[in-house]
Amino acid sequence: MIQVADTHDGADRAADLRAVLVDELRGRGKIATAAVEAAFRRVPRERFMPDGTDLTVAYGVDNSVVTKRDEHGVAISSVSAAYIQARMLEQAEVRSGMTVLEVGSGGLNAAYLAEIVGPQGRVVSVDIDPEVTARATTLLEQNGYGDRVRVLVADAEHGVPGEGPFDAVIVTVGAWDIPPALLDQLRNPGVLVLPLIMNGVTRTIGFRRASEHLSSTSAEVAGFVPMQGDGRHPDRVFLLPDGNGRNVRLSFDSGAPREISRLDGVLATERVERWSGVTIDNGVSFADLHLWFAWFLPGFCRIAPDEGTDLAAERRWFPFGVVSGAGFAYLAVRPAAEGEGAEFGARAYGPDGQRAAASMVEQIQAWDRDGRHTEPTFHYWPVGSDPSLISADAPVMDKTHGVVTISWP
Ligand SMILES: C[S@@+](CC[C@H](N)C(=O)[O-])C[C@H]1O[C@@H](n2cnc3c(N)ncnc32)[C@H](O)[C@@H]1O
């Protein structure tokens, strides 16, 4: 094991790993510009990690490192993975001389930003948690960025009074909605990058402001710690008992069925299944299918079975389900009839299990026909937007401060 150390060897090793990381991020298309590359080459990533973090973990492309958990053990602060930090900096189109806001502090991303905007620019980093801002302030000072980043305690739901306007805002925490106060502080045109949670599925979206509304220019798959404070939006969670003292947890972002009690006892009923004929090659991502479900499958939920339930014992299942009347179905795969890949389908329980499975399979087929291989674009329309600007046939998702529409060509 290689430990972070201030020895000459440790510093050399970190520099080597930094170079490898940059090459990998370039190779994977996460770093695209010279400015982001230079920032990743300069900032000593390991020095912003918790003490004792293995150097190889600090420089892993996909590793996020938890820095704080709540009383239930849920991660509430972390150093984001290198791939998503790089990608968000690119999505934000940050350039020399800009004024940029980072929501969610930690130090590392603010240091990258400081490198990119340079001495003519300005970086403000806010966090709701004073412990996080204190740590970020110390780390930025220790690493020479103290006078280039202003770190403040603030709940992003209320913007950052006295600061802005910003050319770019990068939100590094899962957001269910876009706070109007933050939008008010974004220049027009300006770029807002945020991990937007849409019916339980997150996309880190690069939005360009066009007058009062926002249009996406990019979207990336990523997970983030949840928003705290006045903008938090907890899921509604139901436990589906299996009759043996174990449960399958169903989490609904919005639109939880009103008569969820109709599911009582369904896990004890005979399981049924339906197959879609839609296949996927091994190792190919189907994250877009989850997003499709989130938008187009009524009753969609995320699921987590306790160890020991039949569902957990199944070798290949995915944490997505649907409730329809007195039926519950979940996404499953089986080996494809031909070739090496897998076929998607649904397994279901309850008197309406066939109906629930059919609704899921119908959307798998719709995704295969209309959504697969194409990138959706997103628009955000704050409350008060001119309704005539919103395409009448665009699918709409309601938020508190506006609506999101999607166009999936
Ligand atoms: C993933 S961490 C930030 C990582 C950081 N940008 C970095 O590069 O290391 C997310 C942070 O968002 C903060 N946060 C959560 N809700 C917030 C809110 N409403 N306003 C501001 N910060 C918030 C959390 O305290 C947490 O520290």
Domain ranges, ordered by start, for the chain: 66-231, 236-371, 377-407
CA of 272 to the centre of ligand 1 (A): 43
CA of 125 to the centre of ligand 1 (A): 9
Mean pLDDT of 115-140: 97
Structure tokens of 374? 């194409």
Does the structure show a pLDDT above 70 at 7? no
- With beta carbons less than 8 A apart as the criterion, state whether 349 and 327 touch: yes
**Predicted TM-score (pTM) of this structure:** 0.94
What is the distance between the alpha carbons of residues 408 and 218, in angstroms, rounded to a whole number? Answer: 13
- With beta carbons less than 8 A apart as the criterion, state whether 100 and 113 touch: yes
pLDDT (0 to 100) of residue 76: 92
Q: Whose CA is nearest to atom 8 of ligand 1?
A: 109
Does the structure show a pLDDT above 70 at 131? yes
Residue with token string 């990690």: 49
Does the structure show a pLDDT above 50 at 386? yes
Does the structure show a pLDDT above 70 at 289? yes
Of 217 and 316, the one with more pLDDT: 217
**Which helix (H) or strand (E) is 130 found in, with range?**
helix 130-142
What is the distance between the alpha carbons of residues 65 and 367, in angstroms, rounded to a whole number? Answer: 34
Active-site hit among 64, 78, 80, 359: 80
pLDDT (0 to 100) of residue 26: 98
The angle at the Cα of 360, spanning 356 to 366, to the nearest 5 degrees, equals 145
CA of 59 to the centre of ligand 1 (A): 21
> Between the ranges 98-107, 239-248, 317-326, 333-342, where is the mean pLDDT highest?
98-107
Pocket test residue of 87, 101, 105 for ligand 1, highest count of atoms within 8 A of CB: 105
Does the structure show a pLDDT above 70 at 193? yes
Does the structure show a pLDDT above 90 at 313? no
CB 132 near ligand 1, within 6 Å: yes
Q: For residue 51, how many other CB atoms are within 10 A of its CB?
A: 6
For residue 38, give every residue at least 6 positions away whose Cβ sits within 8 Å of its Cβ, in sequence order, or none: 115, 116
Report CA dihedral (137, 140, 145, 146) to the nearest 10 degrees.
30
Confidence of residue 328 (pLDDT cuts 50, 70, 90): very high
pLDDT digits (tens, 9 = 90+) for 224-278: 998 999 999 999 999 998 888 899 999 999 878 888 888 888 998 999 999 999 9
Structure tokens of 83? 């791939």
Of 400 and 318, the one with more pLDDT: 400
Topology adopted by domain 66-231: Rossmann fold (3.40.50)
Atom of ligand 1 nearest to the CA of 132: 27
Does the structure show a pLDDT above 80 at 323? yes
CA of 126 to the centre of ligand 1 (A): 8
Q: Is 80 a catalytic residue?
A: yes
